[in-house]
């Protein structure tokens, strides 16, 4: 009887072992290129509420709330939390849905950037030049993370603005999402 149980166990164990080896080979976690500038890179998320304007994309009387991801020259990054390229599994699922693709992109939430979350701005300079980035429609404010990190590593502060209801998903500092308007109406 115990040899039958062992045989059945092996029948299930062998495919699981093969699958655990095959999946990382089929869907590797991408390594983003490191920035080559002289500064370490910090990143943070903020949102800004415009109390003078109502949100035009909703039927409710919400004020316009815009999310921004910021990359900047950083100090004291040792041992701090590294930012992920996409921090929300729900957001990447929405991207797949919007593009009519199978939901196979969840592993993108495992991709580490070269940015450290919520660290101090480097005090090597009194001022840094600022760049405002506005990405393409139906994307997200971290879509060009390689470019943003490179600019920050060279001494720029980059603000990438999100577009609520126009990006496939805006991820706010408290991790809530505002979805692409198309997804809201045609879900």
**Domain 39-185 has what CATH class?**
alpha beta
Name the residue with higher pLDDT: 153 or 89: 153
Please indicate, yes or no, whether the overall pTM of this predicted structure exceeds 0.95.
Answer: no
pLDDT given for residue 124 in this prediction: 94
In this prediction, residue 131 carries a pLDDT of 97
Q: In this model, does residue 152 exceed pLDDT 90?
A: yes
Q: Which residues of 153-186 are buried (b: 16+ CB within 10 A; e: fewer)?
A: bbbbbbbbbbbbbbbbbbbbeeeebbbbeebeee
- Collect all residues with Cβ–Cβ distance below 8 Å to 106 and sequence separation of at least 6: 89, 92, 93
User: 131: which strand partners?
Assistant: 158
Return the domain boundaries, the chain.
Answer: 39-185
Higher per-residue confidence, 137 vs 175: 175
For residue range 110-135, list pLDDT tens digits in order. 788 999 999 999 999 999 999 999 87
Q: How far apart are the first and last CA of the chain?
A: 52
Mean pLDDT of the chain: 80
**20 band by pLDDT with thresholds 50, 70 and 90:** low
pLDDT tens across 50-80, in order?
A: 888 777 777 777 777 888 899 999 998 888 9
At residue 18, the pLDDT reads 64
């Amino acid at each position: 009887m115990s040899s039958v149980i062992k045989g059945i166990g092996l029948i299930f164990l062998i495919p699981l072992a093969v699958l655990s080896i095959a999946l990382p080979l089929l869907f590797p976690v991408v390594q983003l290129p490191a920035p080559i500038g002289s500064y370490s890179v910090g990143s943070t998320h903020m949102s800004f509420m415009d109390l003078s304007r109502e949100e035009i994309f909703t039927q409710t009387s919400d004020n316009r709330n815009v999310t921004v991801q910021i990359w900047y020259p950083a100090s004291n990054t040792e041992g701090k939390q590294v930012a992920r390229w996409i921090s929300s599994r729900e957001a990447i699922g929405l991207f797949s849905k919007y593009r009519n693709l199978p939901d196979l992109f969840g592993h993108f939430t495992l991709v580490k950037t070269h940015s450290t979350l919520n660290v101090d701005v480097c005090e090597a300079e009194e001022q840094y030049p600022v760049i405002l980035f506005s990405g393409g429609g139906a994307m997200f404010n971290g879509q060009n993370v390689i470019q943003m990190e490179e600019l920050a590593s060279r001494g720029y502060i980059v603000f990438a603005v999100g577009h609520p209801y126009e990006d496939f998903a805006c991820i706010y500092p408290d991790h809530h999402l505002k979805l692409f308007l198309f997804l809201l109406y045609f879900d």
